[in-house]
A and B are shown apart, each in its own frame.
Chain A
Amino acid sequence: MKCDFCEKKATVFLTQLVDGQMKKVCLCDNCAKERGVTDPTGFSLADLLLGGLPGGPGTVAGHPSPGVPGNGKQCATCTFTLDDLKRVRRFGCSDCYATFGDEVAQMIRGMHKGTSHVGKVPEGLMAIQFRNQRIEELRSRLDQAIASESYEEAAGIRDEIRNLDEVKH
């Protein structure tokens, strides 16, 4: 069993009912100490998964600066603060994910099967990704063409890249 937070060998295993669902977290010695998981009786797994943020409950390093909401972090789009995040354990808008990037990274470790999206992508994005991939392929073909001094072919590839770049912007 690996630690859900750092991939080391897990030695502490916590199971708790959260919202009527069984949640399990595996931690190594270091992560358990770091998150203050020494007294399971007074410890909430939800705090660890959703509230174990820097400066939040369950962290040793957490000393929020008094009077500064959420250590000064605030979403410019919706005014959501780090304190709000700790209080409601949800976000205010989609831009919060960028604002609280560090906290998000910590929250989602151990929450899901992975930390990067593999799956459906909105159609428009799909086209952009496909185009970028195509440009990359063409660039490497261009390098090969120049290296083998096939200048005519290189010119054709360059035009193709230019066309794709124009569509992109």
Chain B
Amino acid sequence: MMRFNTLIKHPADWMTGGQGEHGAVITSRIRLARNLRRHPFPGWAKRDQRAAALDLMRPAVEALPAMKGAFSHELGDLTSVQKQVLVERHLISREHAARGDGSAAVIERRQTFSLMLNEEDHLRMQAIRPGLQLTAAFSALSELDTNLEESLEFAFDPTLGYLTTCPTNLGTGLRASAMLHLPGLVLSDQIGQVLQAVNKIGLAVRGLYGEGTESLGNLYQISNQSTLGESEETIIRRLERVISQVANHEQNAREKLLEDDPEMVSDKIGRAYGVLRYAHIIDSKEALNHLSLLRLGGTLGYFPTKTVMLCDSLLMDIQPAHLQLHSGRKLSPEERDSIRAEIVRSRLQSLETPDNRMSSNDDKNFSDTPNPNPGDA
């Protein structure tokens, strides 16, 4: 069985993905909710009933060809830091991490598929792909789902579709979403109006980090809300169309900013570079916001294109549980801020200054190998 450290050691497939849509769409995610017939839903089931459902599902999931050699553990066997790392990687949900025995996570080696067993529904399976690839992610996950139907009997009603614990997921059980990076729309004050338009057509929008309406790092998630009354393809097609439009708006906003106020753009990117390269104490909010601008610099040619990927990995690695895993001990908030700054400095140490805008293909003089002596900036 795959060990936790082996799973986490390698960057996920989606982190090393392409740069479609000018880097505005970071990932696409498809989630399907399924439940077993004649078994109480996890939230209502007694301990032994939950265990019985898990005993049915886990072998069936592990036997899938796509899940060969997968990471498969009951949540009670993982430490709270390990569970939190999986949450930060979007491999399990916060709700799932709160569970212990009787619930499990089965994650494919390259982290492209991740299945939560006994979350709110018996089975919540998700597929993650880099860039805008909702259709590809759905067809891969749908194949997994069809394979599972050979050994598990899912609750289905001809009128209501797949039956779920909460009626908000009825029908297709599908939640399709994309993570977007929209600094151009934020800097040009158009974000509110774009997100409002997206919301008006029945799609959900939320900031990926930050409480309530606050968004950190200019990162947003757009997803479908309705799961019944339309086919999976229709839901996904609409979402892809809207996301493409938002990505285009973002691209236009970036071009316009460069045209109208290049000094302001250079200043913001330069300052972000300065702080990230030389700060010794940085909290997660500041780091997220500066990494967002550095990422923007990577897409605008201020830095080599590799920088975008580097920023995406850093966004993950500066989260609290990742920092704790990295240090191998419990950290105080102050220690976290120091170690966060140290990791960022070491990863960016060979990144040249953005004073002269490079051509996006010029990747010389840049390597993203970590410095063996971090902190020697």
Which residue numbers of A lie inside 8 Å of B, CB to CB? Answer: 20-22, 50, 77-78, 80, 84, 88-95, 97-98, 104, 107-108, 111-125, 129
Interchain CB contact (< 8 A) of B172 among A77, A119, A123: A119
B160 surroundings in chain A (CB, below 8 A): 97, 104, 108, 116-117
The answer to whether the Cβ of B241 comes within 8 Å of any Cβ in the partner chain is: no
Q: Is the CB of A123 within 8 A of B228?
A: no
Q: Is the CB of A113 within 8 A of B38?
A: no
B234 surroundings in chain A (CB, below 8 A): 118
Q: Which residues of chain B from 121 to 177 have a CB within 8 Å of any chain A CB?
A: 142, 145-146, 149-150, 154-163, 165-168, 170-172, 174
The answer to whether the Cβ of B41 comes within 8 Å of any Cβ in the partner chain is: yes
Cα(A56)–Cα(B252), bound, Å: 50
Interchain CB contact (< 8 A) of A117 among B38, B171, B202: B171
Q: A78-B44, A88-B43 are in contact. Are A122 and B232 (CB under 8 A)?
A: no
Cα(A80)–Cα(B44), bound, Å: 8
Cα(A104)–Cα(B166), bound, Å: 11
Q: Is the CB of B202 within 8 A of A113?
A: yes
Q: A118-B231, A123-B146 are in contact. Are A112 and B226 (CB under 8 A)?
A: yes
Q: Which residues of chain B from 167 to 200 have a CB within 8 Å of any chain A CB?
A: 167-168, 170-172, 174, 199
Q: A97-B160, A108-B167 are in contact. Are A115 and B228 (CB under 8 A)?
A: yes
B158 surroundings in chain A (CB, below 8 A): 117, 121, 125, 129
15 A-B pairs whose Cβ atoms sit less than 8 Å apart in the complex: A20-B212, A77-B38, A80-B44, A90-B167, A93-B38, A94-B37, A95-B38, A113-B202, A113-B228, A114-B230, A116-B159, A117-B161, A118-B230, A120-B172, A123-B149
Q: Is the CB of A118 within 8 A of B229?
A: yes
Cα(A50)–Cα(B212), bound, Å: 22
Q: Is the CB of A21 within 8 A of B225?
A: yes
Residue of B nearest to A118 (CB): B231
Q: Is the CB of B227 within 8 A of A122?
A: no
The answer to whether the Cβ of B39 comes within 8 Å of any Cβ in the partner chain is: yes
Q: Is the CB of A114 within 8 A of B167?
A: no
Q: Does more than half of chain B's interface fall in helix, strand or loop, or is it mixed?
A: loop
Cα(A98)–Cα(B158), bound, Å: 12
How many Å from the CB of A106 to the closest CB on chain B?
10
Q: Is the CB of A91 within 8 A of B149?
A: no
Cα(A116)–Cα(B35), bound, Å: 19
Q: Is the CB of A112 within 8 A of B229?
A: yes
How many Å from the CB of B184 to the closest CB on chain A?
24
How many Å from the CB of B73 to the closest CB on chain A?
26
Cα(A122)–Cα(B145), bound, Å: 9
Interchain CB contact (< 8 A) of A94 among B155, B204, B212, B232: B155
B172 surroundings in chain A (CB, below 8 A): 117, 119-120
Which residue numbers of B lie inside 8 Å of A, CB to CB? Answer: 35-41, 43-44, 120, 142, 145-146, 149-150, 154-163, 165-168, 170-172, 174, 199, 202, 204, 206, 212, 225-232, 234
Q: Does more than half of chain A's interface fall in helix, strand or loop, or is it mixed?
A: loop
Q: Is the CB of A116 within 8 A of B229?
A: yes
How many Å from the CB of B220 to the closest CB on chain A?
13
Cα(A94)–Cα(B44), bound, Å: 11
Q: Is the CB of B230 within 8 A of A108?
A: no
Q: Is the CB of B166 within 8 A of A119?
A: no
Q: Is the CB of B212 within 8 A of A112?
A: no
Interchain CB contact (< 8 A) of A93 among B39, B120, B156, B171: B39
A115 surroundings in chain B (CB, below 8 A): 159, 228-229
B150 surroundings in chain A (CB, below 8 A): 123
A129 surroundings in chain B (CB, below 8 A): 158
How many Å from the CB of A132 to the closest CB on chain B?
11
A90 surroundings in chain B (CB, below 8 A): 41, 43-44, 120, 165-167
How many Å from the CB of A27 to the closest CB on chain B?
17
How many Å from the CB of A123 to the closest CB on chain B?
5
Q: Is the CB of A89 within 8 A of B166?
A: yes
Q: A107-B167, A108-B167 are in contact. Are A117 and B232 (CB under 8 A)?
A: no
Residue of A nearest to B46 (CB): A78
How many Å from the CB of A90 to the closest CB on chain B?
5
A21 surroundings in chain B (CB, below 8 A): 204, 206, 225
Given A93-B41, A118-B230: 8 more A-B contacts, CB < 8 Å: A50-B167, A84-B44, A93-B39, A94-B155, A108-B228, A112-B226, A113-B228, A123-B149
Cα(A17)–Cα(B172), bound, Å: 24
Cα(A89)–Cα(B43), bound, Å: 12
